[in-house]
């Protein structure tokens, strides 16, 4: 089969599942550290004010305390701002890595790559669509809580493990797949055994090169045409 010296077998074993889950953990930790660093200047001060005011007061009366309610509202607004920043950071990280390296840091570390289902590299549109599920819900985390994260990560993990091709929701939206590095360029049909190997198209012959492989006028003597006789000039008698 074309695609590497030791191509993967066809079927579900040809497409990684547990490896990509390990890569997702690495990417989650990378984004978590970056977003926590971003959260400190955005919501850290307001959170400190809220906690400082709540200490030493009766917890039962805080729900009716107008000053505490105002501080809590301001903190909620700061959390929404942080959610917008986190969404932007996640989108920039994912789309940038998709287009520059064809994989995130976690997938690069585990020898995985992301391609379109036809085996070609992702376009900007593919990268944008594939990243949407990871950042579109971030601004709503303070309102809806952890349910969006559970839907993204737990639900997505189940889809990856249960589908025969191990494609997650992000792959279905972006029409992409995760493959091992050695399988880059192979289509989804080929990897799952439902289609033939991709055969590169034959290159047309270069008309400037002769059959012997030499440029015209520079080959061996038999390859060169005899000079054309000059017209209109008679030879002088001997």
Q: In this predicted model, what pLDDT tens digit does every residue of 86-144 receive, in sequence order?
A: 888 899 999 999 999 999 999 999 999 999 999 999 999 999 999 998 888 766 665 56
Total domains in the chain come to 1
pTM to 2 decimal places: 0.67
Residue 1 lies in a domain: no
Residue 177 lies in a domain: yes
Residue 140 lies in a domain: yes
Helix 66-101, helix 18-39: angle, nearest 10: 130
Parent domain of 123: 12-36+83-191
Q: In this predicted model, what pLDDT tens digit does every residue of 207-217 receive, in sequence order?
A: 555 455 555 55
43 close to 36: Cβ distance less than 8 angstroms = no
Position 2 scores a pLDDT of 40
How far, rounded to the nearest angstrom, does the alpha carbon of residue 92 sit from its chain's CA centroid? 11
113 close to 103: Cβ distance less than 8 angstroms = yes
Banded pLDDT at 153 (limits 50, 70, 90): confident
Residue 118 lies in a domain: yes
DSSP 96-137: HHHHHHSS-HHHHHTTEEEEETTSPPP-HHHHHHHHHHHHTT
Which residues neighbour 182 within 8 Å (Cβ) at sequence distance 6 or greater?
3, 4, 6, 7, 8
179 close to 118: Cβ distance less than 8 angstroms = no
Q: In this predicted model, what pLDDT tens digit does every residue of 21-33 receive, in sequence order?
A: 999 999 999 998 9
Residue 26 lies in a domain: yes
Radius of gyration of the chain (CA): 31
Residue 235 lies in a domain: no
Q: In this predicted model, what pLDDT tens digit does every residue of 28-77 receive, in sequence order?
A: 999 989 888 876 666 555 555 555 555 555 555 666 666 556 656 666 76
Residue 171 lies in a domain: yes
Q: Mean pLDDT over residues 176-197, rounded?
A: 89
91 close to 123: Cβ distance less than 8 angstroms = no
Position 82 scores a pLDDT of 76
Task: Kindly report the average pLDDT of the chain as a whole number.
Answer: 75
CA distance linking residue 127 with residue 91, whole number of Å: 10
Q: In this predicted model, what pLDDT tens digit does every residue of 1-12 receive, in sequence order?
A: 344 445 555 565
Residue 126 lies in a domain: yes
CA distance linking residue 196 with residue 199, whole number of Å: 9
């Amino acid at each position: 089969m074309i695609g590497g010296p030791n191509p993967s077998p066809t079927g579900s074993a040809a497409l990684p599942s547990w490896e990509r889950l390990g890569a997702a953990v690495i990417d989650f930790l990378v984004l978590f550290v970056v977003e926590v660093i971003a959260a400190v200047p955005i919501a850290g001060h307001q959170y400190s004010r809220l906690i400082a005011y709540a200490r030493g007061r009766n917890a039962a009366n805080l729900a009716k305390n107008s000053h505490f309610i105002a501080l809590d509202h301001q903190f909620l607004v700061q959390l929404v701002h942080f959610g917008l920043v986190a969404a932007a950071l996640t989108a920039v990280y994912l789309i940038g890595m998709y287009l520059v390296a064809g994989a995130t840091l976690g997938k690069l570390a585990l020898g995985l790559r992301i391609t379109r289902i036809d085996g070609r590299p992702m376009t900007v549109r593919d990268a944008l669509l594939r990243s949407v599920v990871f950042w579109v819900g971030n601004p709503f985390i303070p309102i809806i809580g952890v349910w969006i994260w559970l839907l993204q990560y737990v639900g997505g993990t189940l889809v990856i493990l249960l589908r025969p091709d191990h494609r997650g929701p992000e792959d279905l939206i972006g029409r992409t797949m995760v493959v091992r590095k050695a399988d880059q360029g192979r289509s989804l049909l080929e990897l799952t055994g439902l289609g033939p190997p991709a055969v590169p198209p034959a290159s047309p012959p270069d008309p400037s090169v002769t059959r012997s492989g030499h440029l015209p006028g520079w080959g061996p003597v038999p390859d060169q045409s005899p000079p054309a006789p000059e017209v209109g000039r008679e030879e002088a008698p001997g």
